[in-house]
């Protein structure tokens, strides 16, 4: 993991909730990040432009694709106050790539009260490997604009009870499920989604159901223990071992 800089090349307003920001990056490690890995970002440059200290901690940004050889695209909530030409400082890559099973046929992505950006990072590579993808949007995630997703991705908006037509088939036929939830209380939110899934598919095996954890990451390098997560075989750090953890193993 390295500190590097990037320049904001372009900002596109996707809808009332979402921005796509194109970053010209200097470090090859950023361009080579794999799905699951992210960057911790502070707007400004310690050697030039004044750094912004609101928010105080670096923000976690997720790369949803590449635009050209040196430009990557990240997806942010519309609240982000950014300007074209600004410099940002990056700490990347943070975390481990998602651990996919061999012989994947279908992957289910679920976003509950959260933008699905951490899940969207895996869409290009899975489609390239002919994996079928379904994205289920629950709660406030239902307002996410999916027009920028490839048409091959099946998009489902769940109802207020977090249910949808043919959900038994969707849940039982999938090889792996990745879930992202609101950061207000991640363990509780994962539990809510787990309840919905386990009613339709009890006795879920290991390595099927993965939660993508996004606690605040003060250091991002495993030095402060602020992101510690209790799992069956001990304590893991989200910034080093995560962000995805097998939900059957999380205590």
Q: How many CB atoms lie within 10 A of CB 126?
A: 21
Tokens standing for residue 5? 């800089």
Q: Degrees (nearest 5) of the Cα angle 157, 238, 89? A: 90
User: 248 burial class (0-12, 13-18, 19+ CB within 10 angstroms)?
Assistant: middle
> Using the rule CB under 6 A, which residue among 237, 244, 247, 250 binds ligand FES?
237
Of 2, 93, 6, nearest to 45 (Cα)?
6
Name the minimum Å distance from CB 34 to ligand FES: 19
User: Could you say whether residue 239 binds ligand FES (CB under 6 A)?
Assistant: yes
Helical segments of the chain, H only: 28-31, 117-120, 123-128, 167-173, 186-200, 238-241
User: Could you say whether residue 97 binds ligand FES (CB under 6 A)?
Assistant: no
User: Could you say whether residue 188 binds ligand FES (CB under 6 A)?
Assistant: no
Of 168 and 235, CB closest to ligand FES: 235
Tokens standing for residue 85? 């030409």
Give me the half-sphere count of Cα atoms (radius 13 Å) on the Cβ side of residue 170: 20
Q: In this chain, which stretch among 77-85, 159-167, 168-176, 213-221 interacts with ligand FES, using CB under 6 A?
A: 213-221
Give the number of residues in contact with ligand FES, rule: CB under 6 A.
12
User: Could you say whether residue 124 binds ligand FES (CB under 6 A)?
Assistant: no
Name the minimum Å distance from CB 244 to ligand FES: 15
Name the minimum Å distance from CB 33 to ligand FES: 18
User: Could you say whether residue 227 binds ligand FES (CB under 6 A)?
Assistant: yes
Residues that bind ligand FES (CB under 6 A): 217-220, 222-227, 237, 239
């Amino acid at each position: 993991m390295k500190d590097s800089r990037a320049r904001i090349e372009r900002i596109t307003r996707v809808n009332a909730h979402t921005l796509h920001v194109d970053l010209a990056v200097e470090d090859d490690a950023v361009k080579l990040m794999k799905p699951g890995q992210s960057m911790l970002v502070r707007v400004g440059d310690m050697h030039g432009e004044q750094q912004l200290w609101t928010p105080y901690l670096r923000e976690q940004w997720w790369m949803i694709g590449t635009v050209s050889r040196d430009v990557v695209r990240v997806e942010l909530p519309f609240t982000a106050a950014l300007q074209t030409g600004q410099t940002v400082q990056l700490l990347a890559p943070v975390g481990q790539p998602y651990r996919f099973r061999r012989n994947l046929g279908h992957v289910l992505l679920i976003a509950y009260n959260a933008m699905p950006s951490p899940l969207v990072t895996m869409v290009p590579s899975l489609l390239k490997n002919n994996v079928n993808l379904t994205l289920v949007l629950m709660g406030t995630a239902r307002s996410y604009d999916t027009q920028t997703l490839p048409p091959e991705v099946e998009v489902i908006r769940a109802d207020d009870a977090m249910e949808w037509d043919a959900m038994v088939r969707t849940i039982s036929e999938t090889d792996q499920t990745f879930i992202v939830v609101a950061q207000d209380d991640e363990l509780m939110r994962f539990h809510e989604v787990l309840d919905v899934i386990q009613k339709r598919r009890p006795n879920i095996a290991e390595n099927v159901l993965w939660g993508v954890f996004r606690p605040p990451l003060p250091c991002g390098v495993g030095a402060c223990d602020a992101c510690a997560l209790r799992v069956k075989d001990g304590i893991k750090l989200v910034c080093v071992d995560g962000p995805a953890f097998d939900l059957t193993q999380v205590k």
